[in-house]
Amino acid sequence: NRSNASSEIEFRGAIGHLIGEKGRGIRTGLSMNHNSRLDIAAASAGLMRTAVSLAAHHAQHRHAFQKALIDQPIMQNVLADIAIEAEAAAWLAFRLFAALDRQDESASERLLARVGAPIAKYWITRRAPAVVTEALECHGGNGFIEESPMARLYREAPLNAIWEGSGNVICLDVLRTLAREEGVVDVLRAELMAAAGADRRYDAALKRLEGELPEMIRNEGQARRLTERLALMLQASLLLRFAPPAVADAFIATRLGEGWSGQFGDLPPAADAAALARRAVPAI
């Protein structure tokens, strides 16, 4: 593609050495792909943050109707919402990097990294194109021309969902891990319970997930729904524990609510969208 150092290569007379066992190449390859899935999740989180920073900077300096765009209530809501999404993505990716760092000393961290990598890879790469699209729209037509950095981000955003396993492959991996890896469900439960009691809406969503989890694990057709639910709950848990209360509150009010459409700019009136939007402006 245009934005990566990608190319087609052809090997002629090259020396090859067997890695792993003969006939088990896919399994050997997947053991390496597991770590790179976290790289991809972090890359998409970074791409989202770049897009949000560009949009917030533009909105701070572009004026319309006698006010800066960032002072327009509807623009504040959009900017605040995509900034929350980018922050939640970063927390999830780096929590799992921490688990990966500790996997040799802790069985629970090893299991969390095992199941968390495909969860993060699936969800963050799915949300990146939506965030970039909104950030591009914040620029108006200028965001779509090739001279704008947004055009490059827009082209790149969908690609990470394909690397190291497309959506269906990733979600089936989550399903298999939950069904076959002993102790994985307990480790996920412990990670989610770390935020229990901090927010009644989160507690209610956690209770619903507990009740539905066994059936979703048994139903392959629910693999995407299951992976999305786990990603959102993990992000909410992390934001409750480590992010500013306003960020966690806005995330839970939308993402864990029954009526969430997945669209941006839908924060409730109680959210301080103005403060959240201005928090996204990069310090230059």
**Quick check: 231 pLDDT over 90?**
yes
Confidence class for position 36, pLDDT limits 50, 70, 90? confident
- The CATH number for 181's domain is 1.20.140.10
Residue with tokens 């972090």: 42
**Whether 45 contacts 93, CB under 8 Å:** yes
- Is residue 142 included in any domain, yes or no? yes
**Predicted confidence (pLDDT) per residue in 98-140, tens digit:** 999 999 999 999 999 999 999 999 999 999 999 999 999 999 9
148: helix, coil or strand? coil
- Is residue 10 included in any domain, yes or no? no
- Is residue 202 included in any domain, yes or no? yes
Domains contained in the chain, number: 1
**Quick check: 284 pLDDT over 80?**
no
Phi–psi pair at 63, nearest 5 degrees: -110, 140
**Predicted confidence (pLDDT) per residue in 166-194, tens digit:** 999 999 999 999 998 899 999 999 999 99
**Quick check: 38 pLDDT over 70?**
yes
**Whether 157 contacts 47, CB under 8 Å:** yes
- Is residue 19 included in any domain, yes or no? no
**Whether 78 contacts 134, CB under 8 Å:** yes
- Is residue 3 included in any domain, yes or no? no
Average pLDDT over residues 218-225: 93
- pLDDT of 26 reads 77
Please give the model's pTM, rounded to 2 decimal places. Answer: 0.91
Segments forming the whole domain that contains residue 125? 28-279
- Is residue 254 included in any domain, yes or no? yes
> Which two structure tokens, joined as six digits, stand for 48?
């989202």
Among 88-92, 212-216, 236-240, the range scoring the smallest mean pLDDT is 212-216
Residue 219 has a CB neighbour count (10 Å cut-off) of 12
- Is residue 20 included in any domain, yes or no? no
- pLDDT of 1 reads 67
- Is residue 8 included in any domain, yes or no? no
- Separation of alpha carbons 199 and 180, rounded Å: 32
**Residue with the larger pLDDT of the pair 1 and 150:** 150
**Predicted confidence (pLDDT) per residue in 144-159, tens digit:** 888 889 999 999 899 9
Average pLDDT over residues 32-45: 88
